[in-house]
């Protein structure tokens, strides 16, 4: 009973907290409205789809990376990795290659949590699932993790620039 009360009050508090956040957000927008009524010479706001929804870009890049990885060739994956990859590019590609040749990859899925776009970089936080049958074992392995990929825009393409967290490779 006491636990239930505590849970209820916790839920009420969460609701109140959420409402207050919404209130402050609306207050901020109202403020922006008011100050924006001054005489202005505004520049155009951006209408590029990726700037508005970097999640679409993030999803397509992750899909491409996992697709190339599941049908790995050294040359194919090399082309996805930025020449400025840090810390060490070839060490990363060797790790990916070892991981691919370690077993049969049955499935890979990813779910984007956050996609942040700056002038030439896209940071993507995502969760991933990987199902594989490593060579020499009898058990199908179900692996999950959360990783961060940073893609860099260079020569007209987005390439992997940095990998952190639980690498899916």
Partner 1 sequence: MQNSLKVGFNRNGAIFILSLLSFLYVIPAYSAKVFCLAQLLPSTNNYYNSSVPTVDPAIPANSFSLSKRWNDLFDFSSYGEYGKERSGRISGAFSQEIDWQNIGGNHTKSFLTQGMDYLSELHVNIQEKLWSDYNFESRFFIRKTDNKYIDPRRDARLKEFNLRVLNSNSLYELGNIYADFSQFVLGSSLEGYNIQIAPNSFQKYYVIAAREHPADESAAKFQRNFFGGKADFFLFKDSNIFSNFRVGLQGGATRDDGATLEHTIYTQELRNLVGSIDGEISFIKIFSLQYEIARSGYVADYLAQSKNYNSGTAFRVQPALNFDKFSVRYLYYYVQPEFYTNFGSASADKRQQQVTVDYRFNDKADCSFIENYYYDRLADSLRDKRTVNNEKYLNFNFRPFTSRRDLNLRPYINYLSTYSDDDRNSLKSKTKTVGFSVNDTLSGKTTYGLNYEYRAFEDGANDKAMSEWFQRVGVNLGNEQQLLNRRLYYYVEPSMDIRRTKTDDDKDINFILSFSGQYDMYNNLITRFGYNLQNTDSAVPDQDFVNNRSFFEFDFLLSQKRSTHVVFRAERNWFKYDDSAQDYNETRTILKFITNF
Which secondary-structure segment (H or E) carries 2? helix 2-35
Per rule CB under 8 A, is residue 139 in the interface with partner 1?
yes
Q: Kindly write down the DSSP assignment for every residue of 120-166, as one continuous string.
A: SEEEEEEEEEEEEEETT-SSPEEEEEEEEEEEEEETTEEEEEEEEES
Q: Hey, which residues between 147 and 166 contact partner 1 (CB under 8 A)?
A: 148, 150, 162, 164
Per rule CB under 8 A, is residue 8 in the interface with partner 1?
no
Q: How many residues bind partner 1 (CB under 8 A)?
A: 84
d(Cα 23, Cα 115) in Å, to the nearest integer? 25
CA distances from 123 to 2, 43, 49, 88, 114 (A): 44, 27, 17, 19, 8
The residue within the footprint of partner 1, chosen from 59, 68, 99, 129 (CB under 8 A), is 129
Site string for partner 1, 14-53 (x = CB under 8 A): x--x--xx--xx-xxx-xxxxxxxxxxxxxxxxxx-xxxx
Residue among 81, 163, 89, 80 at smallest CA distance from 128:
163
The residue within the footprint of partner 1, chosen from 64, 107, 145, 154 (CB under 8 A), is 107
Q: Hey, which residues between 46 and 85 contact partner 1 (CB under 8 A)?
A: 46-48, 50-53, 55, 71, 73-76, 78, 83
The residue within the footprint of partner 1, chosen from 117, 132, 147, 160 (CB under 8 A), is 117
The residue within the footprint of partner 1, chosen from 4, 135, 155, 156 (CB under 8 A), is 135
């Amino acid at each position: 009973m006491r636990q239930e009360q505590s849970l209820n009050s916790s839920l009420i508090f969460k609701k109140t907290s959420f409402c207050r956040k919404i209130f402050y957000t609306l207050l901020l927008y109202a403020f922006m409205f008011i100050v924006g009524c001054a005489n202005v010479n505004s520049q155009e706001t951006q209408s590029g789809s990726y700037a508005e929804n970097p999640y679409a870009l993030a999803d397509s890049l992750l899909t491409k990376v996992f697709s190339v990885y599941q049908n790995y060739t050294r040359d194919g994956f090399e082309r996805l990795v930025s020449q400025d990859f840090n810390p060490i590019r070839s060490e990363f590609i060797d790790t990916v290659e070892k991981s691919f040749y370690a077993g049969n990859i049955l499935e890979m899925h990813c779910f984007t949590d956050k996609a942040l776009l700056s002038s030439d970089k896209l940071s993507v936080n995502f969760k991933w699932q990987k199902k594989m049958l490593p060579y020499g074992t009898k058990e199908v392995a179900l692996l999950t993790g959360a990783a961060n990929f940073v893609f860099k825009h260079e020569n007209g393409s987005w390439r992997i620039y940095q990998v952190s967290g639980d690498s899916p490779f």
